[in-house]
Amino acid sequence: MNGNELYLKAKEVMPGGVNSSTRVNKALGMPFYVSKGKGSKLWDMEGREYLDMSCAHGAGLLGNGHPAIDEALHKAIEIGYVNSFETEYHERLARIITESIPCADKIRFCSAGSEATMHLIRACRGFTGKNKIIRVEGHFHGYHELIFIGGQPPASEFPRNRERPYIESAGIPEEFANLIIPVPCNDIAALQEAVDKHGSDTALLILEPVNFNTAGIRAQQEYLEFARKITKENGIVLFFDEIQSAFKKSFGAAQSHLGVTPDVCTIGKSIGGGLPLSAFCGKAEIMDTYQPLGPVQHSGTFNAHLIPILAGLAFVQEAAKPEFYPKLRALEKQFHEGVDAIIEKHDLNMIVPHFGARYNILLGRKTPALRYEETFCHNKDVMLKILKACFDKGIYFHDYGGGPSHNGYSIQHTSEDIAKVLGVLESVLVAHRNEM
């Protein structure tokens, strides 16, 4: 069966033919059907080869089909992949990760990033006895009712989003928006005002310490330090969502690079080596609000399933090897020096912000965006054309509806892979130069 035939059949039995709405790739007009992945490469249903420059939304830092993960899967079979039990492997992984993340006295594991933010928000509320959430525009924290509000509204909702937070999906009751206070990134006065007005009702301030979900809007050092100070003074939990940023640049979380330690954080994506594993962690006094120690419930049949826990142990063992991050840093240097040279040579109106092995492509400006509104210059239609042209030349970047979201590479990518990507990117970007 080829991809088109499969899509027709899949649509009969799954809404839109997919299990994750954004898997319908707008650049291709259908999902990208993959028949196999190995190392830095993917193959479609017709056996065509692509270089994977997405790496599973950031979960694929080890690349496709890594031998260490294969071994973990075999070990799970030996153990009989017992489920709904604690094992020695859970304790081992918890210890390694808590030792590597500054805010993490204690940790619990789950599957998806959305699940991690959902559970941790509950603990923040249980700990503070307050309900409101201050969040930063442009940052993303999952698709659930508690937080899929006011983060990435369309330009037409501006600046109304700050008065009436935009509900990002039908089906989320209006009442949830009453608990969300969106603030612009890097605006100290706006954060001060939000805390003055809502601080006594606010449980947490949540942000991506390194943003990947909208053009890499970077919270500036001064802003992060102010966020730390004002939350501490007002009994608000400072929550870093590091689902994406953890382990991308070094062993541990981005907070180690930023010198600002939150009270709690979520981590995810790469830590499962391609299997579904996320985690939430933080100061003992907050984590100990979970039952059986405290009043906050968090339980589930599949919580911390043994298979991803074993894969997580394999991931941390790989990532702890002395050659792991130097290799990723060498790829990062090669890719970004190459991209920046292409931008300069052809005077392209774009920028590619990055942190570790992940980057964003933002069209329409040459300097980093510091607030969400500054990304409205990005032309999604042109982006879709660029992604399609790269795809036709054998390079797969994931499409987020043409938005300036994230892509990345893995430890199994080679310098030759990056050189090939740069060659394709140059020809495609130059062809669309006048549309940016």
Q: Which tokens sit at 33?
A: 């059907």
Buried b / exposed e along 368-380 (16+ C-beta atoms within 10 A): ebbbbbbbebbbe
For the bound state, the minimum distance from the C-beta of residue 372 to ligand PLP, rounded and expressed in Å, comes to: 15
Query: Is 140 an interacting residue with respect to ligand PLP (CB under 6 A)?
Result: yes
Q: Say if CB 380 and CB 368 are below 8 A apart.
A: no
Name the DSSP letter for residue 39.
B
User: Checking DSSP bridges between strand 358-360 and strand 106-110, what pairing results, if any?
Assistant: unpaired
d(CA 396, CA 360): 14
Query: Is 135 an interacting residue with respect to ligand PLP (CB under 6 A)?
Result: no
User: Checking DSSP bridges between strand 278-282 and strand 106-110, what pairing results, if any?
Assistant: antiparallel
d(CA 227, CA 186): 10
* Chain CA centroid to CA 340, Å: 24
Query: What are φ and ψ of residue 379, in 5° steps?
Result: -95, 110
For the bound state, the minimum distance from the C-beta of residue 405 to ligand PLP, rounded and expressed in Å, comes to: 8
Which residue of 152, 161, 244, 407 would you call a contact of ligand PLP, by CB under 6 A? Answer: 244
Kindly identify the residues of this chain, within the stretch 180-209, that bind ligand PLP according to CB under 6 A.
Answer: 208
Q: Which tokens sit at 354?
A: 């990055």
Q: Which is nearer to ligand PLP, 54 or 424 (CB)?
A: 54
Helices (H), 160-220: 188-198
Kindly identify the residues of this chain, within the stretch 260-279, that bind ligand PLP according to CB under 6 A.
Answer: 268
Query: Is 141 an interacting residue with respect to ligand PLP (CB under 6 A)?
Result: yes
For the bound state, the minimum distance from the C-beta of residue 163 to ligand PLP, rounded and expressed in Å, comes to: 25
Binding segment for ligand PLP among 152-160, 236-244, 349-357, 423-431 (CB under 6 A)?
A: 236-244
For the bound state, the minimum distance from the C-beta of residue 348 to ligand PLP, rounded and expressed in Å, comes to: 26
For the bound state, the minimum distance from the C-beta of residue 355 to ligand PLP, rounded and expressed in Å, comes to: 12
* Chain CA centroid to CA 235, Å: 27
Q: Which is nearer to ligand PLP, 165 or 268 (CB)?
A: 268
- Residue 43 CA: distances (Å) to CA of 11, 316, 352, 393: 22, 27, 27, 13
Query: What are φ and ψ of residue 350, in 5° steps?
Result: -160, 165
Q: Say if CB 186 and CB 172 are below 8 A apart.
A: no
Find the angle CA(394)-CA(395)-CA(400) to the nearest 5 degrees: 130
For the bound state, the minimum distance from the C-beta of residue 33 to ligand PLP, rounded and expressed in Å, comes to: 20
| # residues contacting ligand PLP (CB under 6 A) | 15
Which residue of 3, 17, 63, 142 would you call a contact of ligand PLP, by CB under 6 A? Answer: 142
Q: Say if CB 381 and CB 40 are below 8 A apart.
A: no
Q: Which is nearer to ligand PLP, 202 or 211 (CB)?
A: 211
For the bound state, the minimum distance from the C-beta of residue 276 to ligand PLP, rounded and expressed in Å, comes to: 8
Query: Is 126 an interacting residue with respect to ligand PLP (CB under 6 A)?
Result: no
Kindly identify the residues of this chain, within the stretch 23-82, that bind ligand PLP according to CB under 6 A.
Answer: 57
d(CA 163, CA 352): 32
Q: Which is nearer to ligand PLP, 266 or 418 (CB)?
A: 266
Which residue of 25, 54, 213, 231 would you call a contact of ligand PLP, by CB under 6 A? Answer: 213
Kindly identify the residues of this chain, within the stretch 100-119, that bind ligand PLP according to CB under 6 A.
Answer: 112-114, 117
Query: What are φ and ψ of residue 309, in 5° steps?
Result: -65, -45
Query: Is 153 an interacting residue with respect to ligand PLP (CB under 6 A)?
Result: no
Which residue of 52, 137, 241, 399 would you call a contact of ligand PLP, by CB under 6 A? Answer: 241
Q: Which is nearer to ligand PLP, 16 or 294 (CB)?
A: 16
Per-position DSSP letters for 1-47, written without gaps between them: --HHHHHHHHHHHSGGG-SSGGGSBTTTTB---EEEEEBTEEEETT-
Q: Which is nearer to ligand PLP, 117 or 389 (CB)?
A: 117
Which residue of 134, 183, 205, 243 would you call a contact of ligand PLP, by CB under 6 A? Answer: 243
Task: Give the residue at shortest CB distance from ligand PLP.
Answer: 113
Cβ neighbour number for residue 220 with a 10 Å cutoff? 13
The residues binding ligand PLP (CB under 6 A) are 57, 112-114, 117, 140-142, 208, 212-213, 241, 243-244, 268
